[in-house]
Amino acid sequence: MNRKTISVVLIEDDPMVQEVNKTFIEKVSGFEVNGTAGNGVEGVKTILELQPDLVILDIFMPQQDGLETLYQIRKNKIKVDVIIISAANDRDTIQTMLQQGAMDYIIKPFKFDRIKQALERYKDYYTQFSPDGEMSQKEVDTLLSGIHTPHFEQDRKEIPKGLNQITLKQIMAYLRAQSCGKSSEEVAEGVGIARVTARRYLEYLEKRGEIKLDMQYGGVGRPVNRYLMKND
Protein backbone atom coordinates (compact mmCIF):
# COMPACT_ATOMS: atom_id res chain seq x y z
CA MET A 1 0.00 0.00 0.00
CA ASN A 2 1.18 3.56 -0.68
CA ARG A 3 2.65 4.85 2.59
CA LYS A 4 1.15 8.27 1.91
CA THR A 5 -2.23 6.66 2.51
CA ILE A 6 -3.05 6.35 6.20
CA SER A 7 -4.75 3.03 6.92
CA VAL A 8 -7.67 3.04 9.36
CA VAL A 9 -9.59 0.39 11.28
CA LEU A 10 -13.05 1.58 12.34
CA ILE A 11 -14.58 -0.04 15.43
CA GLU A 12 -18.28 0.83 15.79
CA ASP A 13 -21.19 -1.45 16.66
CA ASP A 14 -23.99 0.43 14.86
CA PRO A 15 -23.85 -0.57 11.15
CA MET A 16 -25.45 2.68 9.98
CA VAL A 17 -23.10 4.86 12.04
CA GLN A 18 -20.18 2.70 10.93
CA GLU A 19 -21.03 3.35 7.27
CA VAL A 20 -21.48 7.10 7.83
CA ASN A 21 -18.16 7.34 9.69
CA LYS A 22 -16.42 5.31 6.98
CA THR A 23 -17.73 7.72 4.35
CA PHE A 24 -16.58 10.71 6.40
CA ILE A 25 -13.10 9.27 6.92
CA GLU A 26 -12.57 8.46 3.27
CA LYS A 27 -13.75 11.94 2.23
CA VAL A 28 -10.56 13.27 3.83
CA SER A 29 -7.65 13.01 1.42
CA GLY A 30 -5.00 10.51 2.40
CA PHE A 31 -7.14 8.16 4.51
CA GLU A 32 -8.49 4.70 3.71
CA VAL A 33 -10.62 2.43 5.92
CA ASN A 34 -9.06 -1.02 5.51
CA GLY A 35 -11.11 -2.84 8.11
CA THR A 36 -14.16 -2.53 10.36
CA ALA A 37 -15.37 -4.28 13.50
CA GLY A 38 -18.58 -4.26 15.51
CA ASN A 39 -17.13 -4.76 18.98
CA GLY A 40 -13.85 -4.52 20.85
CA VAL A 41 -12.95 -8.21 20.74
CA GLU A 42 -13.35 -8.33 16.98
CA GLY A 43 -11.64 -4.94 16.78
CA VAL A 44 -8.44 -6.05 18.51
CA LYS A 45 -8.23 -9.10 16.21
CA THR A 46 -8.69 -6.86 13.16
CA ILE A 47 -5.98 -4.47 14.38
CA LEU A 48 -3.53 -7.34 14.88
CA GLU A 49 -4.34 -8.72 11.44
CA LEU A 50 -4.24 -5.48 9.44
CA GLN A 51 -1.77 -3.44 11.53
CA PRO A 52 -3.34 -0.07 10.65
CA ASP A 53 -1.85 3.34 11.33
CA LEU A 54 -4.98 4.63 13.06
CA VAL A 55 -7.99 3.22 14.92
CA ILE A 56 -11.29 5.09 15.16
CA LEU A 57 -12.92 3.68 18.28
CA ASP A 58 -16.43 3.83 19.77
CA ILE A 59 -16.97 3.30 23.51
CA PHE A 60 -20.45 1.83 23.99
CA MET A 61 -20.22 -1.61 22.32
CA PRO A 62 -21.26 -5.19 23.14
CA GLN A 63 -18.83 -7.90 24.30
CA GLN A 64 -16.00 -5.45 24.90
CA ASP A 65 -16.41 -1.69 25.16
CA GLY A 66 -14.01 0.97 23.97
CA LEU A 67 -12.47 1.54 27.40
CA GLU A 68 -11.39 -2.08 27.69
CA THR A 69 -10.39 -2.18 24.02
CA LEU A 70 -8.02 0.77 24.38
CA TYR A 71 -6.65 -0.78 27.57
CA GLN A 72 -5.96 -4.03 25.68
CA ILE A 73 -4.27 -2.13 22.85
CA ARG A 74 -1.91 -0.42 25.31
CA LYS A 75 -1.41 -3.50 27.49
CA ASN A 76 -0.33 -5.55 24.48
CA LYS A 77 1.89 -2.71 23.22
CA ILE A 78 0.17 -2.60 19.84
CA LYS A 79 1.76 0.24 17.90
CA VAL A 80 -1.28 2.12 16.67
CA ASP A 81 -2.80 5.55 17.23
CA VAL A 82 -6.40 5.94 18.42
CA ILE A 83 -9.11 8.58 18.01
CA ILE A 84 -12.34 8.20 19.98
CA ILE A 85 -15.79 8.89 18.52
CA SER A 86 -18.46 8.31 21.15
CA ALA A 87 -21.66 9.58 22.72
CA ALA A 88 -19.96 9.33 26.12
CA ASN A 89 -19.48 12.90 27.29
CA ASP A 90 -18.80 12.55 31.02
CA ARG A 91 -15.52 14.03 32.19
CA ASP A 92 -14.26 10.83 33.84
CA THR A 93 -14.56 8.77 30.64
CA ILE A 94 -12.99 11.46 28.48
CA GLN A 95 -10.10 11.88 30.92
CA THR A 96 -9.55 8.12 31.11
CA MET A 97 -9.41 7.75 27.32
CA LEU A 98 -6.97 10.63 27.00
CA GLN A 99 -4.81 9.20 29.78
CA GLN A 100 -4.75 5.91 27.88
CA GLY A 101 -3.30 7.72 24.90
CA ALA A 102 -6.26 8.66 22.70
CA MET A 103 -5.11 11.41 20.34
CA ASP A 104 -8.50 13.07 20.00
CA TYR A 105 -12.02 12.71 21.35
CA ILE A 106 -15.09 13.49 19.24
CA ILE A 107 -18.51 13.54 20.90
CA LYS A 108 -21.53 12.25 18.97
CA PRO A 109 -23.39 13.73 17.24
CA PHE A 110 -20.77 15.64 15.29
CA LYS A 111 -20.34 17.38 11.96
CA PHE A 112 -18.03 16.30 9.16
CA ASP A 113 -15.84 19.36 9.77
CA ARG A 114 -14.94 18.06 13.23
CA ILE A 115 -13.69 14.67 12.09
CA LYS A 116 -11.96 16.30 9.12
CA GLN A 117 -10.17 18.61 11.53
CA ALA A 118 -9.08 15.65 13.69
CA LEU A 119 -7.83 13.63 10.73
CA GLU A 120 -5.94 16.51 9.16
CA ARG A 121 -4.21 17.20 12.48
CA TYR A 122 -3.39 13.52 12.70
CA LYS A 123 -1.98 13.52 9.17
CA ASP A 124 0.36 16.37 10.13
CA TYR A 125 1.46 14.35 13.15
CA TYR A 126 1.85 11.15 11.14
CA THR A 127 4.01 12.72 8.44
CA GLN A 128 6.44 14.04 11.05
CA PHE A 129 7.48 10.45 11.79
CA SER A 130 7.78 9.30 8.17
CA PRO A 131 11.46 10.22 7.74
CA ASP A 132 14.09 8.46 9.84
CA GLY A 133 16.48 10.34 12.09
CA GLU A 134 16.40 12.59 15.11
CA MET A 135 14.11 15.47 16.02
CA SER A 136 14.98 18.83 17.51
CA GLN A 137 13.19 20.21 20.57
CA LYS A 138 11.54 22.81 18.34
CA GLU A 139 10.18 20.07 16.07
CA VAL A 140 8.85 18.15 19.08
CA ASP A 141 7.20 21.27 20.51
CA THR A 142 5.57 22.07 17.17
CA LEU A 143 4.38 18.49 16.83
CA LEU A 144 2.80 18.39 20.28
CA SER A 145 1.09 21.75 19.91
CA GLY A 146 -0.41 20.59 16.62
CA ILE A 147 -1.83 17.26 17.80
CA HIS A 148 -3.10 18.40 21.20
CA THR A 149 -4.38 21.84 20.23
CA PRO A 150 -7.40 22.09 17.92
CA HIS A 151 -7.08 24.46 14.99
CA PHE A 152 -9.33 27.06 16.53
CA GLU A 153 -7.18 27.07 19.68
CA GLN A 154 -3.98 27.85 17.87
CA ASP A 155 -4.95 31.48 17.44
CA ARG A 156 -3.49 33.01 20.57
CA LYS A 157 -5.43 36.24 20.48
CA GLU A 158 -5.44 38.12 23.73
CA ILE A 159 -8.71 37.78 25.57
CA PRO A 160 -10.36 40.36 27.83
CA LYS A 161 -9.56 40.53 31.51
CA GLY A 162 -11.75 38.17 33.51
CA LEU A 163 -11.91 35.52 30.78
CA ASN A 164 -9.52 32.59 30.51
CA GLN A 165 -8.34 30.37 27.68
CA ILE A 166 -9.37 27.07 29.25
CA THR A 167 -13.04 28.04 29.64
CA LEU A 168 -12.96 29.63 26.18
CA LYS A 169 -11.68 26.37 24.69
CA GLN A 170 -14.32 24.35 26.54
CA ILE A 171 -17.14 26.51 25.21
CA MET A 172 -15.84 26.37 21.62
CA ALA A 173 -15.39 22.59 21.84
CA TYR A 174 -18.92 22.23 23.20
CA LEU A 175 -20.43 24.33 20.40
CA ARG A 176 -18.47 22.47 17.72
CA ALA A 177 -19.96 19.20 18.93
CA GLN A 178 -23.55 20.47 18.57
CA SER A 179 -25.72 19.93 15.51
CA CYS A 180 -27.79 23.08 16.17
CA GLY A 181 -27.53 26.42 17.92
CA LYS A 182 -27.50 26.53 21.72
CA SER A 183 -28.68 29.20 24.14
CA SER A 184 -26.41 30.67 26.81
CA GLU A 185 -28.31 28.62 29.40
CA GLU A 186 -27.63 25.39 27.47
CA VAL A 187 -23.97 26.28 27.00
CA ALA A 188 -23.65 27.05 30.71
CA GLU A 189 -25.14 23.68 31.64
CA GLY A 190 -23.08 21.82 29.03
CA VAL A 191 -19.78 23.31 30.15
CA GLY A 192 -20.57 23.54 33.85
CA ILE A 193 -20.37 27.29 34.41
CA ALA A 194 -22.75 30.06 35.48
CA ARG A 195 -25.19 31.40 32.89
CA VAL A 196 -23.91 34.96 33.21
CA THR A 197 -20.36 33.71 32.70
CA ALA A 198 -21.36 31.74 29.61
CA ARG A 199 -23.04 34.83 28.17
CA ARG A 200 -19.83 36.88 28.55
CA TYR A 201 -17.80 34.29 26.67
CA LEU A 202 -20.42 33.91 23.96
CA GLU A 203 -20.62 37.66 23.41
CA TYR A 204 -16.84 37.81 23.15
CA LEU A 205 -16.70 34.92 20.67
CA GLU A 206 -19.39 36.53 18.57
CA LYS A 207 -17.43 39.80 18.43
CA ARG A 208 -14.31 37.86 17.49
CA GLY A 209 -16.17 36.23 14.61
CA GLU A 210 -15.80 32.65 15.88
CA ILE A 211 -19.53 32.07 16.37
CA LYS A 212 -22.73 33.53 15.00
CA LEU A 213 -25.94 34.55 16.70
CA ASP A 214 -29.23 32.98 15.62
CA MET A 215 -32.17 34.82 17.17
CA GLN A 216 -35.21 32.56 17.32
CA TYR A 217 -38.76 33.65 18.03
CA GLY A 218 -40.99 31.12 19.72
CA GLY A 219 -44.37 31.72 21.28
CA VAL A 220 -45.08 34.39 23.85
CA GLY A 221 -42.09 36.17 25.34
CA ARG A 222 -38.71 37.46 24.31
CA PRO A 223 -36.72 35.84 21.48
CA VAL A 224 -34.06 33.28 22.41
CA ASN A 225 -30.49 33.90 21.32
CA ARG A 226 -28.83 30.74 20.08
CA TYR A 227 -25.17 30.48 19.18
CA LEU A 228 -23.61 28.46 16.37
CA MET A 229 -20.00 27.82 15.41
CA LYS A 230 -19.17 29.25 12.03
CA ASN A 231 -18.08 26.77 9.37
CA ASP A 232 -14.31 26.50 8.96
- Place 172 in a pLDDT band, splitting at 50, 70 and 90: confident
Give the separation between CA 89 and CA 109, rounded to whole angstroms. 11
3-state secondary structure of 174: helix
The mean pLDDT value of the chain amounts to 85
pLDDT of res. 229:
84
Q: What domains, with CATH codes, occur in the chain?
A: 6-130+143-148 (3.40.50.2300), 165-229 (1.10.10.10)
Task: Look up residue 96 and give its amino acid.
Answer: T
Burial 116-127 (b: 16+ CB within 10 A, else e): bbbbbbbbebbe
Give the separation between CA 74 and CA 10, rounded to whole angstroms. 17
In this predicted structure, the answer to whether residue 54 has a pLDDT above a threshold of 70 is yes
pLDDT digits (tens, 9 = 90+) for 78-128: 999 999 999 998 888 888 898 888 989 999 888 898 999 899 888 888 887
- Place 2 in a pLDDT band, splitting at 50, 70 and 90: very low
pLDDT of res. 61:
94
Residue 7 pairs in a beta bridge with 32
In this predicted structure, the answer to whether residue 181 has a pLDDT above a threshold of 90 is no
pLDDT of res. 81:
95
Residue 11 pairs in a beta bridge with 37, 57
pLDDT of res. 156:
47
Higher pLDDT, 98 or 22: 22
Q: What is the arithmetic mean of pLDDT over 48-68?
A: 95
Share of the chain above pLDDT 70, in %: 86
Q: What are phi and psi of 146, to 5 degrees?
A: -75, -40
pLDDT digits (tens, 9 = 90+) for 185-218: 999 988 888 889 999 999 999 888 889 888 776 5
Count of Cβ atoms closer than 10 Å to residue 54 Cβ: 22
pLDDT of res. 1:
40
